Amino acid sequence: MGIASLVGKYAMAPFAKALPAMGDTERAALEAGTVGFEGQLFSGTPDFDALIATGPNKLTLDEQAFIDNEVRALCGMLDDFAIDTARDLPPEVWQFLREKRFFGMIIPKEWGGLGFGHYAHAAVVTRLATVNVSAAVTAMVPNSLGPAELLLHYGTDAQKQHYLPRLADGRDLPCFGLTSPYAGSDAASIPDRGILTTREIDGKQVRGFSVTFSKRYITLAPVATVVGLAFNARDESRPEGQRDLGITCALIPVPTPGMQIGRRHRPMDSAFMNGPIYGEDVFVPMDWIIGGEKQVGQGWRMLMESLAAGRAISLPALGAATQQSSVFISNGYGKVREQFGMPIGKFDAIAGIIAGMAVELYATDAARRFTAAALDNGEQPSVASAILKVHLTEAGRTSINHAMDILGGKGIINGPSNLLSVAYRHMPVAITVEGANILTRSLIIFGQGAVRCHPYVMDEMAAVEHQDEEALGRALMGHGAHVARNFWRSLFGAPVVGNPPDELLGEARMLARLSAKYALTCDLAMGLLGGKLKRMELLSARLGDCLAHLYMASACIWRYSVERDAPMLPIARAALRTQLDAAEEVLQDLYANLPAPGRRFIGSLVLSRTAHLVPLRDVQMLALAKLLRENPSVVQRLCPDVSLPKGGGMVDLVHALELAEQLGDEATAKLNKLVRRTRSFEEAAADMPNPALALAYLRAADKVIQVDDFAA
Q: What is the DSSP string of 641-705?
A: T----SSSHHHHHHHHHHHHHHH-HHHHHHHHHHHHHH--HHHHHHTSSSHHHHHHHHHHHHHHH
pLDDT digits (tens, 9 = 90+) for 302-345: 988 887 777 899 999 999 999 999 999 999 999 999 999 899 99
pLDDT digits (tens, 9 = 90+) for 113-169: 999 999 999 999 999 999 999 999 999 999 987 789 999 999 999 999 999 999 999
Q: What is the pLDDT of residue 174?
A: 97
**Domain made up of 310-438: CATH architecture:** Up-down Bundle (1.20)
% pLDDT > 70, the chain: 97
Q: What is the pLDDT of residue 483?
A: 87
Question: Under CATH, what is the fold of the domain 174-299?
Answer: Butyryl-CoA Dehydrogenase, subunit A; domain 2 (2.40.110)
Q: What is the pLDDT of residue 144?
A: 86
Residues of the chain with CATH 1.10.540.10: 61-145
pLDDT > 80? residue 583: yes
pLDDT digits (tens, 9 = 90+) for 153-212: 999 999 999 999 999 999 999 999 999 999 887 877 899 999 999 999 989 999 999 999
Residues of the chain with CATH 1.20.140.10: 310-438
Section 537-547 average pLDDT: 94
Average pLDDT, the chain: 92
- Alpha carbon dihedral 86, 90, 91, 94, in 10-degree steps, equals -120
pLDDT digits (tens, 9 = 90+) for 70-101: 999 999 999 999 999 999 999 999 999 999 99
From the list 615, 548, 564, the residue with the least C-alpha distance to 316 is 548
Between the alpha carbon of residue 384 and those of residues 34, 173, 444, 548, the distances in Å are: 10, 30, 11, 8
- Alpha carbon dihedral 593, 599, 602, 606, in 10-degree steps, equals 0
pLDDT > 90? residue 351: yes
Q: Provide the β-strand partners of residue 635.
A: none
Between the alpha carbon of residue 554 and those of residues 452, 490, 558, the distances in Å are: 19, 18, 6
From the list 533, 672, 665, the residue with the least C-alpha distance to 590 is 533
Buried b (16+ CB within 10 A) or exposed e, 8-46: beebbeebeeebeeeeebbbbbbbbbbbbbbbbbbbbbb
Residues of the chain with CATH 2.40.110.10: 174-299
Residue 63, C-beta contacts closer than 8 angstroms, at least 6 positions apart: 116, 117, 120, 123
User: 611: pLDDT confidence band, cut at 50, 70 and 90?
Assistant: low
In CATH, the number for domain 61-145 is 1.10.540.10
Residues with catalytic function: 434
Q: Provide the β-strand partners of residue 248.
A: 231
User: 393: pLDDT confidence band, cut at 50, 70 and 90?
Assistant: very high
Sign of CA dihedral 333, 334, 335, 341: positive
DSSP 296-346: TT-HHHHHHHHHHHHTTTHHHHHHHHHHHHHHHHHHHHHHH-EETTEEGGG
pTM (predicted TM-score): 0.95
Residue 376, C-beta contacts closer than 8 angstroms, at least 6 positions apart: 57, 58, 117, 118, 119
Residue 169 one-letter amino acid: D
pLDDT > 90? residue 465: no
Q: What is the pLDDT of residue 209?
A: 98
